[in-house]
Structure formats: structure tokens, C-alpha cells
């Protein structure tokens, strides 16, 4: 089967392409073996690590949109990058080729009889990746898909699981487990429904519900309704594992399990200790306490891990094996990923909303500052690198996603950056928008945050931003980049400068 990807260079689309490429071989009647899938792709730009990863797996790809290079694939997976005027999309329509959106492709080839979906405003990538890792370590060999890149290069972002198998259709039964990240963003240009509606959960892990993506969900009600519909889609014999943060009864089903810090929950996490290497904490369930350690940062990751532990335990995995797998998991890139540590420490995180940035900054303040603004029950961390009796400074470079560049999102910026000593807004990624849908530019966003925060700068030039950080940081300071667009190579340039000059 030949599959062509229009928009293959995205993290999720490239992971999907690689999963198909690695799906093994099919035995022909003459006894010969041929790959189950031949994979090709196109996009407007290719950059490491995506380009090198595609090359490593011998996937053919080319820059630009060239219908003459597509041939007649059996299936075309169309990414959201393809507009109605995209030449390859027009070719698909003209030739009446079979096509699917990214979530439709997952629905057909990945979803199994036991479909675990991890959904929520935040935490869904981490929980889906960790659950897939835990099930794999415990010998379940699930099919899975999550929209991130694991720090461990041996753990792919997508897999068809225990196939090799012949190509199947979605109507054929599949045993076993699948784990998918349930994204609430729209499925495709022609399908405004959430991606997670394609994944048909029998087991749903729900991490949080907080209004996001105002460009797709213009009101809180419309956002909440999507999740309510998802919960109601879980069958009667299914399972819902949900965070204590979700209190509304409309998000419950008959078989619901709760996790959180309150003793009222079925799974309770407590005694959190954060260090510069990760977190240690305990989980209590049925009067039994389990000690866990993880190579991830933040109390919110203790919550994410507890949700994963709860679901894995409920489907019958042994607690000791779950804990062992969690300890082995190295985390995800761009999820409080420590990119550099010397006299200055640099983190990178995909936090593209004020709420997510707030969680990241709270975590770093608790780890690196002697006196975090909100206090807390964590042990004070002494650091020999600190400048005498001074507190280290926490710099945040922030770029929000599309939905958080609109006027409706202004209230969410209240106190979001209280733990940052300085907030820097870079030149924001240019958006394709209609005149009716007005988005803030960088200067406007800086002015919004300046109404609450005393030290906010808009630095439009990338080199100016890099030089500012080089010249205004001192030993012990921490820099965190928060945003979903990658910052145009600024992080790598900054790291190179610190390595060269400090």
C-alpha cells in the first residue's frame, strides 16, 4: 500500500509516516516479503530533527508541492498545512484519490478493541506517551500515537504495535490495546470536530478541562461541550479515569475513577520532592502506598503520573512493573526539557498558553529559588552557584498559540507570569487570518502583560533577544522558552554563545 503525506514535516505527521514505514512486511503468495506500506511525503520546509529522522527511515520526501511527483498513491494523508489552493490537494480532488485527515488515518490503522485515549487541556501528550511506554515495557505491545518527541530516541512517537500484518480496514476487529493522544483541536480543514472524536475510547484518561483554543472554540461552553460529548462516548463497560480538578458531574460515567491530592480520591499522590533531576513522591490506593521517582519536573507531572498509574493498575498491570517503567521513562522533548546547564540553566517547554506557562514558572521557581513567591511545602534548595545572598533570576521568553493571541484570552494572563523576574515577548509567528479574526502581535501582547507584570519587554529582533539574555543574566539564573513554534533556532544559538563565551 502506497501512502503519501501532504505536510509530512510536522512532529505528528512525520511520526505517523515513520510508524507506517516500520510496520513490517507482508508475505505474498509466492513467498516473497514486501513492505506493508510504501511512504512518501511533501512539505514547504524540512529541518532537523524531523528531516534527519525521515532520512534515517528511508522515507522519500521533497520540498514544495509537486503533483507530478505524487503518482497515484493508495492513500493520501492530508495535513492541516494544505489549504484549498494547495496544488497537491487539488490533484487529489481532480484524480479522486483516496484521502484522509491525520485523525482519520489513526482511526483506521491504529485504534484497537481496547482504545485508551488521553485527553485534556494539558497533560495529554505526557500521559499518552507515558502510558504507551508503560504498556510496552509490560509486554502489551500496543499501537500508539502521541504528538511529542521522546528524549529516549529508541522510543518512537507512533507505532502500529504488534503488527506486521496485512493491511486491514477499520471494519475488521482488532484485539489488544491502542493508546492515543486525544487532541481537542479541529480534525481538518473540512472537519471542525475535535480529533479525539475519531478515537472511540473504551478507556479515557481526562487530565483537565480549561478553556483553550479560542480560535476554534469561541466560548467556554463550546469547549466544555466537546469534552462532555467525549465522556458520553465511552461505552457502559468502559472506564473513565479523571483528575480531581474536573468536578462537574456531567463529566462522569458509571465506572469513574478519580485521582488527585485529596484523600477522597481513589488514587492519592502526596509527599512530593522536587530536585534538579526530577521528582519523587508517593501514591496511595486501597491503603497501600507506593514510592515513585521520575525523570520529569513539576508537581503537575506527579499528577500526570498518578493518572497513568491509576489507569494502568485498573486494566490489570502489576504496580511494581508500572513503577519500574515510570522510572525508566526519560520524558519528552520540549516538556520542561533541560537544554543547557552550567553557570546559566536553559529550559525549553511547549507551554503556549498563560496557564501552562504559569505551571512551568511555578515549578522552576520552587526548584531554583530559595524563596518562591508562593512559598509551598517543598524543602528549600540550596545552590552553590547562586550569587551570594541574591536570588537567581528567572527569565521567560513566551510565544502563545493562536487562541491565546485574541482579546477573549486577556483574562487568562492575570498573574500568569508572577514567578518570572523578566518576561520577554519575541517576534510572534505570522498567522494566516481573516480580517474578522484579529490577533495580537508581539508589541500588543507585551502591553497586555505589562498591565500586570512590572518587567516585560518586546524584542522583535532575534539577535537582539539573544544578546539581551547573554548580557543581562548572571551565574545561577534560569532561562525558559515557552511556546509551540520553536523560536527560530534562538535556543541553539543562545546555548552555543554560552558554551563559547562563559
Identify the CA nearest to 245 among candidates 257, 235, 260, 228.
260
Residue where one domain finishes, among candidates 276, 298, 328: 328
- As to burial, measured by CB atoms within 10 angstroms (0-12 exposed, 13-18 middle, 19+ buried), residue 91 is middle
In whole angstroms, give the CA distance from residue 222 to residue 209.
Answer: 12
Residue pair 192/213 in contact by the 8 Å Cβ criterion: no
Q: Write the DSSP symbol of residue 352.
A: -
Beta bridge partners of 39: 3
Residue 46 main-chain phi, psi, to 5 deg = -125, 125
H-helix or E-strand spanning residue 469 = helix 462-472
Residue 306 main-chain phi, psi, to 5 deg = -60, -40
Residue pair 5/15 in contact by the 8 Å Cβ criterion: no
Q: Report the CATH number at residue 463.
A: 3.90.190.20
Q: Are residues 120 and 258 in the same domain?
A: yes
Q: Report the CATH number at residue 80.
A: 3.40.50.720
pLDDT of residue 453: 87
Q: Are residues 399 and 466 in the same domain?
A: yes
Identify the CA nearest to 41 among candidates 25, 23, 18, 26.
18
pLDDT of residue 371: 53
**What are the DSSP calls for 21-65, one per residue?**
HTS-EEE-TTS-EEES-EEEEEES---TTHHHHHHHTT-EEEES-
Count of residues for the chain?
502
In whole angstroms, give the CA distance from residue 6 to residue 372.
Answer: 47
Residue where one domain finishes, among candidates 328, 349, 377: 328
pTM for this prediction: 0.82
pLDDT of residue 372: 53
Q: Are residues 385 and 318 in the same domain?
A: no
Q: Is 102 left (phi over 0), alpha (psi -120 to 50) or beta?
A: alpha
Q: Do the bridges between strand 337-341 and strand 422-426 make them parallel or antiparallel, or are there none, so unpaired? A: unpaired
Spell out the residues 6+ positions from residue 315 whose beta carbon is closer than 8 angstroms to its own.
Answer: 114, 177, 203, 239
Q: Are residues 323 and 343 in the same domain?
A: no
pLDDT of residue 276: 84
C-alpha cell read off for 282? 508517593
Residue pair 397/426 in contact by the 8 Å Cβ criterion: yes
Residue where one domain finishes, among candidates 328, 348, 380: 328
C-alpha cell read off for 416? 500568569
Residue pair 163/142 in contact by the 8 Å Cβ criterion: no
Q: Report the CATH number at residue 245.
A: 3.40.1190.10
pLDDT of residue 85: 95
pLDDT tens string for the chain (502 positions)?
Answer: 999 999 999 889 999 999 999 987 777 788 777 778 999 999 997 777 788 889 999 999 999 999 999 999 999 999 988 999 999 999 999 999 999 999 999 999 999 999 999 999 989 999 999 999 999 999 999 999 999 889 898 899 999 986 533 344 444 434 599 999 999 989 998 898 999 999 999 999 999 998 888 888 989 999 999 999 999 999 999 999 999 999 888 888 989 999 999 999 999 999 999 888 899 999 999 999 999 999 999 888 999 999 999 999 999 999 999 999 999 999 998 889 999 999 999 999 988 889 889 999 999 999 998 655 544 333 333 333 344 457 899 999 999 987 788 887 888 888 899 999 999 999 988 766 554 457 888 898 899 898 888 899 999 999 999 999 999 999 999 999 999 777 888 999 999 999 987 6
C-alpha cell read off for 501? 563565551
Spell out the residues 6+ positions from residue 417 whose beta carbon is closer than 8 angstroms to its own.
Answer: 354, 357, 358, 361, 396, 398, 423, 449, 452, 453, 456
In whole angstroms, give the CA distance from residue 304 to residue 123.
Answer: 6
Residue 289 main-chain phi, psi, to 5 deg = -105, 135
Q: Are residues 71 and 112 in the same domain?
A: no
Beta bridge partners of 243: 259
pLDDT of residue 432: 60
Domain span at residue 486 reads 337-501
In whole angstroms, give the CA distance from residue 295 to residue 277.
Answer: 6
Spell out the residues 6+ positions from residue 471 whose beta carbon is closer than 8 angstroms to its own.
Answer: none
Map grid coordinates 509490560 to a residue: 138
Q: What is the CA radius of gyration of the chain?
A: 23
Q: Are residues 66 and 116 in the same domain?
A: no
Q: Are residues 128 and 177 in the same domain?
A: yes
Identify the CA nearest to 146 among candidates 215, 190, 92, 199.
199
The separation between the first and the last C-alpha atoms of the chain, rounded to the nearest angstrom, is 53
Q: Are residues 273 and 323 in the same domain?
A: yes
Q: Are residues 59 and 146 in the same domain?
A: no
Q: Do the bridges between strand 288-294 and strand 239-243 make them parallel or antiparallel, or are there none, so unpaired? A: unpaired
Q: Are residues 214 and 247 in the same domain?
A: yes
Map grid coordinates 551565574 to a residue: 475
C-alpha cell read off for 231? 465522556
Number of domain units in the chain = 3
pLDDT of residue 241: 98
In whole angstroms, give the CA distance from residue 205 to residue 477.
Answer: 37
Q: Are residues 319 and 426 in the same domain?
A: no
CA distances from 250 to 112, 204, 254, 340, 407 (A): 27, 15, 11, 44, 29
Q: Are residues 17 and 159 in the same domain?
A: no
Beta bridge partners of 177: 114
Residue 269 main-chain phi, psi, to 5 deg = -105, 145
In whole angstroms, give the CA distance from residue 181 to residue 336.
Answer: 19
SS3 181: strand
Amino acid at each position: 500500500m502506497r501512502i503519501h503525506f501532504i505536510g509530512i514535516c510536522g512532529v505528528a505527521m512525520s511520526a505517523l509516516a515513520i510508524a507506517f514505514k516500520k510496520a513490517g512486511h507482508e508475505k505474498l503468495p509466492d513467498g516473497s516479503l514486501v513492505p506493508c506500506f510504501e511512504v512518501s511525503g511533501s512539505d514547504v520546509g524540512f529541518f532537523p530533527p524531523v528531516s534527519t529522522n525521515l532520512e534515517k527511515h528511508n522515507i522519500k520526501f521533497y520540498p514544495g508541492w509537486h503533483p507530478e511527483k505524487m503518482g497515484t498513491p493508495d492513500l493520501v494523508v492530508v495535513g492541516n498545512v494544505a489549504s484549498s489552493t494547495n496544488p497537491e490537494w487539488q490533484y487529489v480532488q481532480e484524480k479522486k484519490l483516496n484521502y484522509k485527515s491525520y485523525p482519520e488515518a489513526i482511526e483506521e490503522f491504529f485504534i484497537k478493541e481496547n482504545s485508551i485515549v488521553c485527553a485534556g487541556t494539558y497533560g495529554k501528550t505526557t500521559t499518552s506517551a507515558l502510558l504507551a511506554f508503560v504498556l510496552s515495557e509490560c509486554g502489551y505491545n500496543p499501537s500508539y500515537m502521541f504528538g511529542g518527541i521522546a528524549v529516549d530516541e529508541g522510543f518512537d512517537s507512533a507505532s502500529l504495535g504488534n503488527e506486521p500484518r496485512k493491511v486491514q480496514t477499520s471494519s475488521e476487529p482488532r484485539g489488544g490495546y491502542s493508546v492515543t493522544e486525544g487532541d481537542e483541536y479541529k480534525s481538518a480543514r473540512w472537519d471542525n470536530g475535535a480529533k479525539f472524536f475519531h478515537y472511540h475510547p473504551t478507556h479515557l484518561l481526562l487530565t483537565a478541562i480549561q478553556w483553550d483554543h479560542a480560535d476554534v472554540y469561541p466560548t467556554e461552553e463550546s469547549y466544555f461541550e466537546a469534552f462532555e460529548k467525549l465522556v458520553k462516548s465511552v461505552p457502559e463497560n468502559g472506564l473513565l479515569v479523571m483528575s480531581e480538578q474536573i468536578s462537574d458531574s456531567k463529566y462522569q460515567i458509571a465506572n469513574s475513577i478519580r485521582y488527585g491530592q485529596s484523600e477522597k480520591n481513589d488514587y492519592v499522590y502526596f509527599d512530593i520532592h522536587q530536585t534538579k533531576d526530577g521528582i519523587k513522591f508517593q501514591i496511595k490506593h486501597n491503603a497501600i502506598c507506593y514510592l515513585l521517582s521520575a525523570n520529569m519536573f513539576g508537581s503537575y507531572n506527579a499528577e500526570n503520573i498518578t493518572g497513568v498509574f491509576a489507569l494502568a493498575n485498573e486494566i490489570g498491570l502489576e504496580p511494581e512493573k508500572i513503577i519500574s517503567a515510570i522510572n525508566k521513562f526519560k520524558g519528552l522533548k520540549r516538556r520542561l526539557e533541560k537544554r543547557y546547564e552550567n553557570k546559566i540553566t536553559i529550559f525549553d517547554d511547549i507551554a503556549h498558553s498563560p496557564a501552562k506557562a504559569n505551571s512551568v514558572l511555578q515549578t522552576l521557581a520552587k526548584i531554583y529559588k530559595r524563596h518562591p513567591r508562593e512559598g509551598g511545602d517543598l524543602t528549600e534548595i540550596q545552590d552553590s552557584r547562586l550569587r551570594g545572598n541574591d536570588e537567581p533570576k528567572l527569565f521567560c521568553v513566551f510565544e502563545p498559540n493562536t487562541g491565546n493571541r485574541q482579546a477573549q484570552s486577556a483574562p487568562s494572563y492575570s498573574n500568569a507570569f508572577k514567578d518570572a523576574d523578566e518576561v520577554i515577548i519575541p517576534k510572534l509567528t505570522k498567522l494566516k487570518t481573516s480580517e474578522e479574526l484579529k490577533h495580537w502581535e508581539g508589541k500588543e501582547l507585551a502591553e497586555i502583560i505589562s498591565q500586570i507584570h512590572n518587567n516585560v519587554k518586546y524584542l522583535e529582533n532575534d539577535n537582539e533577544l539573544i544578546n539581551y539574555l547573554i548580557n543581562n543574566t548572571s551565574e545561577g539564573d534560569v532561562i525558559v522558552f515557552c511556546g509551540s513554534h520553536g523560536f527560530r533556532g534562538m535556543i541553539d544559538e543562545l546555548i552555543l554563545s554560552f558554551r563559547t563565551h562563559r
